[in-house]
Homo-oligomer: A and B are copies of this chain.
Amino acid sequence: MRQESRLLRWIWWIVVVTALFLLGFTIGWFAKPSHTSTESHKASNEYLKEFLDEMQTDQIRDHLRKFTRLPHLAGTEQNLKYAEQIQKEWQEFGLDSVEMVPYDVLLSYPNKSQPNYISIVDQLGNEVFNTSLAEPVPQGYEDISNIVPPYSAFSAKGQPEGDLVYVNYGRTEDFFQLEREMGINVTGKIVIVRYGKIFRGNKVKNAMLAGAQGIIMFSDPADYWAAGVQPYPDGWNLPGGGAQRGNVLNLNGAGDPLTPGYPAKEYTYRFSLEEGVGLPKIPVHPIGFDDAIHLLKNMGGQTSPNNWKGALNISYKIGPGFTDDFKTQKVRMNIQTNNQVTRIYNVIGRIRGAVEPDRYVILGGHRDAWVFGGIDPMSGAAVVHETVRSAGTLLRKGWRPRRTIIFASWDAEEFGLLGSTEWAEDNAKLLQERAVAYINADSAIEGMYTLRVDCTPSLHTLVYDLTKQIASPEAGEERVSLYDSWHKRDNWTNERDAPRISKLGSGSDFEAYFIRLGIAAGRARYTKNKKTERYSSYPVYHSVYETFEIVDGFYDPSFKRLRAVAQVRGGLIFLLADSQLLPLDADEYAHSLRKYAQSIAGLAQNHPEQMELYKVSFDSLFSAVQNFTVAARDFHERLQTLNREDPLQVRMVNDQLMYLERAFIDPLGLPDRRFYRHVIFAPSSHNKYAGESFPGIYDALFDIENSPDPEDAWKEVKKHISIAAFTVHAAAMTLTPPA
């Protein structure tokens, strides 16, 4: 009995011990997280709110004030000083590393001892009128030296003399009209065109192709004057003495003209100036409308069609040359601008990713300005600065993004996107393999109306989601989201009931990242009301009147608009860097591809007989788009059942999302534009600022009715339909299960 009881007690003991052990084991087993490297979403979302809330209007104002006191043209000492200051402050804000990255690129400056100007000369060669050598300096800046006068960077040197011909905006269609309808040949003439509508470099190219020996560009009040607004400093309109600086290159994505394809380092082989990419062969010069009146008022020849007439009180005659009374007078350009290899500096800051340090999300914008850069680019640079400050604050609180974030302050954007392109060339291999997205940060404001976003289709959804979490900056909209405020003002009506998002063109630093390397990209800024404000960019664009005061006094006195832009740009970077699954949407890409395919096929359908004759069909493209649509849908469906606990599973689908944009790159490039390699998007051949979808097909179709050999021309169309169809098929493949 006693033995039995002892036995029972032992058995009972063993059972209890075992049970307890098992209980502990089981709890221990399940208590341990089964993955080592997936972060908590909740924490990430809380940090997003903190990140956005940390951005402050007075901070942005301070940044803008600080970096607009002095002119800081690319290649000048002051622009290096600002770079050093940015480097120092980013370090203080708490970035893991901030480095200065120099390149030696071709820049272009006026000759200080021989200023550029344009004259009217009489038959004896006497200068009876000269354009002004500089803009009247705005008040408060009278003692500032080193303000570069208005000039066309990379203009050829020379003193061409001849009759003027007025060619409206200098667009392809303007030259077509001039030559085909008005029967005017500009060979040996000097053309004068108004600024606006297209990139000035395209105007210069058109003038060269037409045979002109020089080109003058002026700002017409029709294009740079808002109704009811005073000229600066009493308002934000362009004074009559103001003129638009700017480069007149046709780089087509090459970056530094002397080192296309490779970074402009000390050891890099350089082309001679004659071999340089995109350098104009004729003199070019910009003037304001006060000067333009003098050149235009006595012009003879035909009268302009109405849509060629600007807002000056003159008759806008076409020429060539002056009316009979002034027949003996000619126009002479005096251009002494020099090209010069010059050192520039990018500032590159980094936050190392906690989980995937080898995945990069980039926020980049330029620092160099034509003069003070009050709007372009410092309104954008101030926003980047505040984003870095806010990220630094979070880092100190223990946050660290899943992926690496790279902040860039680019140099020499104004000279052809040089700093950003050289860095892209320098890091092409790393970026190709590791870059998730590039968000651009040029001017943050160009109007006072609402948000403007241009981005790749896969970012549409993220932009909408994010702007719903940001407040409207507009007075009286305290409880309205930025999304709703934007939606109300710019509904994408013919596409969907949502705010309009546009295609990326070019003209800013995202170009090499998006168009050459195929990295998902986007940009955001505050803009004007396009329906009512018909001027190009903004009136004081690239003039000396782009000051701190024009932003502080007119564009954004509360700095809430700039803060909203900071929150959009910063929020995009945050979510791209910190979301476990990349917030990229392949379905949206499919939707856009279909839209673009319909649009380009519609364009071809303007020539139904020729399409039939030369057997041109878009079937292969539509079939590829359908294939892509199904692949995208299936991909997002599979995401629903993804095991998010498995870090490799997550990495694999993220890689598919990251490489989706890359899949649209054709290594062979577009015809004659080898650095434009995106088959879906390229800057328009006729206006660099505008984005063209299916650019290969578009260019082949352009002006096809005037082709000397229609069969060959349609062959080119067919070739590009084939390339587009293949590329879309290949992109679809990248979305299917990898094995």
Chain B residues whose C-beta falls within 8 Å of the C-beta of A726 in the assembled complex: 262-263, 265, 268
> Which residues of A (252-272) have their CB < 8 Å from a CB of B?
261-263, 265, 267-269
Most buried by B among A37, A265, A267, A357: A267
Interface residues of A in 719-734 (CB under 8 A from B): 719, 721-723, 725-726, 730-731, 733-734
A29 to B29, alpha carbons, bound, how many Å? 5
Does A688 reach chain B (CB closer than 8 Å)?
no
A433 touches B733 (CB 8 A): no
Decide if A262 touches B723 in the complex (CB within 8 Å). yes
Mask of A14-37 contacts with B, CB within 8 angstroms, 1/0: 001100111111111101101111
CA of A24 to CA of B355 in the docked complex: distance in angstroms? 32
Give the complex CA separation of A667 and B677 in angstroms.
Answer: 11
Contacts of A620 in B (CB 8 A): 267
The answer to whether B433 touches A739 (Cβ under 8 A) is: no
Digit string of A348-388 for contact with B (CB within 8 Å is 1, else 0)? 00101101111010000000000000000000000000000
B261:A358 contact, CB within 8 angstroms: no
- Of A269, A652, A734, chain B has the most CB atoms within 10 Å of the CB of A269
In the assembled complex, which residues on chain B have CB atoms less than 8 Å from the CB atom of A659?
Answer: 429, 433
Which of A365-422 touch B at CB < 8 Å?
A: 404
Partner of A648, one of B16, B37, B350, B718: B37
Per the bound structure, the CA–CA distance linking A532 and B101 in Å amounts to: 57
Contact partner of A647 among B265, B647, B662, CB < 8 A?
A: B647
Report which of B35, B677, B733, B739 forms a contact with A357, defined as CB distance below 8 A: B739
Chain B nearest CB: distance from A354 CB in Å?
A: 10
Contact residues in B for A528 (Cβ distance below 8 Å): none
Q: Name the residue in A262, A427, A429, A623 with the highest tally of chain B Cβ atoms < 10 Å from its Cβ.
A: A429
Q: Give Cα distance in the complex from A719 to B267, angstroms.
A: 10
Nearest B residue to A620, CB-CB = B267
- One digit per residue, 1 when the CB lies within 8 angstroms of any chain B CB and 0 when it does not, for chain A 627-667 equals 00000000000000000011110011001100100110011
In the bound complex, CA of A88 to CA of B647 (Å): 36
Question: Is residue A335 contacting chain B, with contact meaning CB distance below 8 A?
Answer: no
Q: Bound state CA distance, A23 and B25, in angstroms?
A: 8
- Collect the chain B residues with CB atoms within 8 Å of residue A652's CB: 356-358
- Which label, helix, strand, loop or mixed, suits the secondary structure of the A interface? helix
* Cβ contacts under 8 Å, A722 to chain B: 262, 267-269
A659 to B430, CA, bound (A): 9
Q: How far is the CA of A34 from the CA of B647 in the complex (A)?
A: 12
If A24-B24, A269-B718 touch, whether A738 touches B29 (CB-CB below 8 Å) is: no
Residue pair A739, B262 in contact (C-beta under 8 Å): no
User: Could you tell me which residues of chain A, from 658 to 708, have a CB within 8 Å of some CB in chain B?
Assistant: 659, 662-663, 666-668, 674, 677
Closest to A650 in B: B648
* Residues in B whose Cβ lies below 8 Å from that of A719: 269
Chain B residues whose C-beta falls within 8 Å of the C-beta of A26 in the assembled complex: 24, 28
Interface size class of A (residues with CB under 8 A): 35 or more
Closest to A13 in B: B16
Q: Which of B261, B358, B715 contacts A655 (CB 8 A)?
A: B358
A343 within 8 Å of B (CB atoms): no
CA distance A340 to B504 in the complex (A): 43
Q: Does A428 contact B (CB under 8 A)?
A: yes
A157 CB within 8 Å of chain B? no
A737 at the interface (CB under 8 A from B): yes
Interface digits, A27-65 against B, CB 8 Å rule (1 contact, 0 not)?
111011011110000000000000000000000000000
A730 touches B32 (CB 8 A): no
B29 touches A32 (CB 8 A): yes
In the complex formed, the residue of B with least CB distance to A736 is B430
A542 proximity list for chain B (CB < 8 A)? none
Q: 1/0 per residue A146-190: CB within 8 Å of B? A: 000000000000000000000000000000000000000000000
Known: A428-B730, A429-B659, A652-B358. A353 touches B27 (CB 8 A): no
Complex contact B352–A662 (CB within 8 A): no
Instruction: Give the shortest distance, in Å, between A660 (CB) and chain B (any CB).
Output: 10
Contact of A433 (CB < 8 Å), options: B27, B651, B655: B655
Question: Residue A668 contacts which of B29, B261, B433, B651 (CB distance < 8 angstroms)?
Answer: B261
The complex places the Cα of A433 from the Cα of B662 at a distance, in Å, of 10
Instruction: Please name all residues of chain B whose beta carbon is closer than 8 Å to the beta carbon of A523 when the two chains form the complex.
Output: none
The answer to whether A434 has its CB under 8 Å from any CB of chain B is yes
Tell me the bound Cα distance from A326 to B662 in angstroms.
66
Docked pose: A733 CA to B430 CA in angstroms = 8
**A352 to B652, alpha carbons, bound, how many Å?**
14
Please indicate the chain B residues that have their CB under 8 angstroms from the CB of A16 in the complex. Answer: 17
A23 to B620, CA, bound (A): 67
Closest residue on chain B to residue A738 by CB atoms: B358
CA distance A232 to B415 in the complex (A): 71
Of chain B, the residue at the smallest CB distance from A263 is B726
With most chain B CB atoms within 10 A of its CB, the pick from A27, A32, A739 is A739
Residues in B with CB closer than 8 Å to A24 are 20-28
B352 touches A429 (CB 8 A): no
What separation, in Å, do the CA atoms of A722 and B739 have in the docked complex? 40
Q: How many whole Å from A397's CB to the nearest CB in chain B?
A: 20
User: CA separation between A337 and B731, bound complex, in Å?
Assistant: 39
Report Cα–Cα, A35/B32, bound state, in Å: 11
Which residues of B are found within 8 Å of A358, using beta-carbon distances? 652, 655-656, 738-739
Q: Nearest-CB distance from A739 to chain B (Å)? A: 4
Cβ contact within 8 Å between A36 and B37 = no
Is there contact, CB below 8 Å, between B352 and A37?
A: no
CA distance A690 to B718 in the complex (A): 38
Q: Decide if B31 touches A25 in the complex (CB within 8 Å).
A: yes
Known: A352-B739, A648-B355, A726-B262. A429 touches B731 (CB 8 A): yes
A21 — nearest CB in chain B belongs to which residue?
A: B24
**What are 11 of the A-B contact pairs (CB < 8 Å)?**
A25-B28, A26-B28, A28-B28, A28-B29, A35-B36, A96-B739, A261-B667, A267-B725, A358-B738, A404-B738, A427-B730
For the complex of A and B, 10 pairs with smallest distance between CB atoms = A24-B24, A28-B28, A25-B28, A358-B738, A269-B722, A267-B620, A357-B739, A21-B24, A24-B25, A20-B20
Known: A24-B26, A36-B646, A269-B719. 17 other contacts (CB 8 A): A28-B28, A34-B36, A35-B36, A36-B645, A36-B647, A263-B726, A267-B619, A267-B620, A267-B722, A356-B648, A426-B730, A427-B733, A428-B730, A429-B731, A430-B734, A430-B738, A647-B647
